[in-house]
Amino acid sequence: MMRVGSDRTLVAILQHKSLFFQLMDFVQHSLNNPSLEFTISDYQKLLARTAEGMDSGKRRTFLNTLGLENLNQNGLLSYLDRRSGRFRLQQFVLDMLRHLDSKRLRELSSAELNQLLKQLEECERQLSDSNIIWLDDNPDFQEMVESAHNTLNEVNARLQSNVRALKGQASHLAELVDRQDYTRLERSEQVGFALNEILRIHERHVTPMLQFLDERLDISRAAHSTKSELHGSQSPMALVQKIINRFYEHRKGDHVTRLQRVQFHILRLGEEVAAIAKSLETYVRYARQERQRYNRTEELYNSLLTAVQEKQQGQLRDFLLKPEHPVFEPSRVFGNFKNFSRTLASNINWPAEQGTDALDEVLRVRLERTPKVLQDNHSKPGKPRSEEEMLKRTTINRIMKAMERFEYDVQQDDIYTVLHEHLCAQMQSYGLPNLVDALAFLGAHGKVEIVSPPRFNKLVYQGQQLSYRLRSYTPKGQKEPVRQAVNVVKSIEMQEREAP
């Protein structure tokens, strides 16, 4: 068998992704195998079934490319054990396949969030080591910097994938509940399963994610007051801020800027997770009410069953429950019970035609009120398709409106502070993350540069803190030599003021 290159093999996997989706679904749902370990026989059957409609040349190329030997030679298999007849794809291949379908993305569990928390704690501990020499040419410092960037980028990537998974699952389950059919028992069972899944996702994934992204979360205090799924001495976002502060304290401005960029992206995920929690709130409340009703029904049934069993002692008399029995107390709201016996009971007037007229009428009215589902679900281009997108567009529109009144023709020495004060006065519901979006509007009117010599400053607003290197803003109309001369004069004046 001729070996096929890794690039062509990956392209073949993407072209035949449905084959691997079938394999993943079979393992997850039929075998209950969360590790996604596949059997060789199942994979060979799917390969043969997929290659049935191909001609001989394409079939040979297809089987050579996606054969287990070729996958293993190209490093796409984590292991291949022919004695047990099992193999597993590399994790990056599984993640790539899941990325193609948001409904197949797996949500981060509380245990995985705690693993990310431990990574942040270890990164912060390494940066706090007094033996580290903060010099750019020091090998220990270079390895530590690379480790810090890798840790924050990995946390950001895992959290972004988690948000996509939560969006896909929440949208799918909410659609399943909204399209319930009152006349089919199978659909009712699916709705019940969907409600249980929504409740599980809200409790096991959405709530821990909100706690992970909470900047002001006190884990030790939250553990006593409310149930917290995180286990550690500090909140994750507080650790991220401490990691950035270590670089800020040692005047590593470039690293501070890069790490803050990752931090802002992580903090923005909190708004998306909050929107997911808000969209599921109605279903969660309904699911909890359904669970309470089911538990109450089961409790009443068990008490009635126990009372009947206690009454059955093998006697021919006195084996029926009396209407005044305490087990019937919760049903008194329906009126008094009548004890029907064989000798005294009158005939019961059952409704004609199997007694389904009233039920049929109720179902008819409800079905008429149910909105019809359109066959074509394609949304019109240009219009927002979700509340998150609408909220994001609304925020951008408010920033654009506020920036219309900004003085672009005036030079500024600290553009961050000036822009922050302008947005505080002109924009409603302003937050520090909006400052980064507003900076993009300055590029068309002037130039933003880091001041020389480098200086640092910080902004504190509504409980959030932004540390940054000072940047100046120069309008397009001002000439470059004039601006450089002004900067030189200001630098000399500053040095004279700092001199004793």
| Confidence bin at 347 (pLDDT 50/70/90) | low
pLDDT in the model for residue 375: 55
Does 370 reside within a domain?
Answer: no
Let me know whether 111 and 29 are in one domain.
no
Work out how many domains the chain is built from and give that number: 3
**Predicted local distance difference test score (pLDDT) of residue 357:** 65
Average pLDDT, the chain: 79
Looking at 69-73, 188-192, 304-308, 372-376, which range is the least confident one?
Answer: 372-376
Residue 53 lies in a domain: yes
Residues 157 and 239 in one domain: yes
d(CA 339, CA 323): 7
pLDDT above 70 for 76: yes
Instruction: Please say if the pLDDT value at position 194 is more than 80.
Output: no
Is 385 a member of any domain? no
Are 19 and 118 in the same domain?
Answer: no
Which of 279, 295, 311 is the last residue in one of the domains? 295
pLDDT in tens, 10-66: 999 999 888 888 888 888 776 566 678 888 998 999 999 988 888 888 888 988 899
**Range of weakest confidence among 74-88, 97-111, 237-251, 278-292:** 97-111
Same domain as 32, residue 168: no
Closest to 212 in 3D by CA, of 152, 277, 149, 267 = 267
Q: Is 70 exceeded by the pLDDT of residue 226? A: no
Query: Where in the sequence is the domain holding 206, given as residue range(s)?
Result: 104-295
- Residue with more model confidence, 140 or 179: 140
The pLDDT, as a whole number, for residue 241 is 92
Same domain, 45 and 185: no
Q: Is the pLDDT of residue 184 over 80?
A: no
The burial class, CB within 10 Å (0-12 / 13-18 / 19+), for 19 is middle
pLDDT at residue 268 is higher than 60 = yes
Does the model's pTM come out above 0.75?
A: no
Q: Report residue 416 CA to chain centroid gap.
A: 31
Element at 23 (helix H, strand E): helix 17-25
The enclosing domain of 211 has a CATH number of 1.20.58
Does residue 446 lie in a domain region?
Answer: yes
Domain end residue (candidates: 36, 69, 97):
97
Q: Which of 81, 97, 113 is the last residue of a domain?
A: 97
Residues 22, 46, single domain; the answer is: yes
- Let me know: does 237 contact 244? Beta carbons within 8 Å: no
User: Are residues 110 and 93 both part of a single domain?
Assistant: no
* pLDDT at position 98: 81
User: Please, are residues 107 and 164 in contact by the beta-carbon 8 Å criterion?
Assistant: no
Q: 1 with 67: CB under 8 angstroms?
A: yes
What is the distance between the alpha carbons of residues 498 and 80, in angstroms, rounded to a whole number? 69
Same domain, 142 and 77: no
Q: What is the CATH number of the domain that holds 23?
A: 1.10.10
- The answer on 114 and 87 residing in a single domain is no
pLDDT above 90 for 150: yes
Same domain for 223 and 167: yes
In a domain, 374, yes or no: no
22 and 141 both lie in a single domain: no
Residues 91 and 199 in one domain: no
Paired residues of 110 in beta bridges = none
> Comparing 68-82, 322-336, 394-408, which segment has the lowest mean pLDDT?
322-336
**20 found inside a domain:** yes
pLDDT tens digit sequence for 287-338: 788 788 888 889 999 999 998 888 887 776 777 888 788 888 887 776 666 6
Considering only CA atoms, give the Rg of the chain: 33
Residue 496 has pLDDT above 50, yes or no: yes
Q: Mean per-residue pLDDT for 447-465?
A: 86
Cα 93 → chain centroid: 21
**What are 479's strand-pairing partners?**
none
DSSP states along 276-319: HHHHHHHHHHHHHHHHHHHHHHHHHHHHHHHHHHHH-SS-SSS-
For residue 31, tell me if it sits in a domain.
Answer: yes
The mean pLDDT of 186-194, rounded to a whole number, is: 66
pLDDT at 279 > cutoff 60: yes
Helix axes 40-50, 17-25, angle to 10 degrees: 140
In a domain, 224, yes or no: yes
What's the pLDDT at 485? 47
- Number of alpha helices (DSSP H) and beta strands (DSSP E) in the chain: 18, 7
At 187 the pLDDT is 55
Quick one: what percent of the chain has pLDDT higher than 90?
Answer: 14
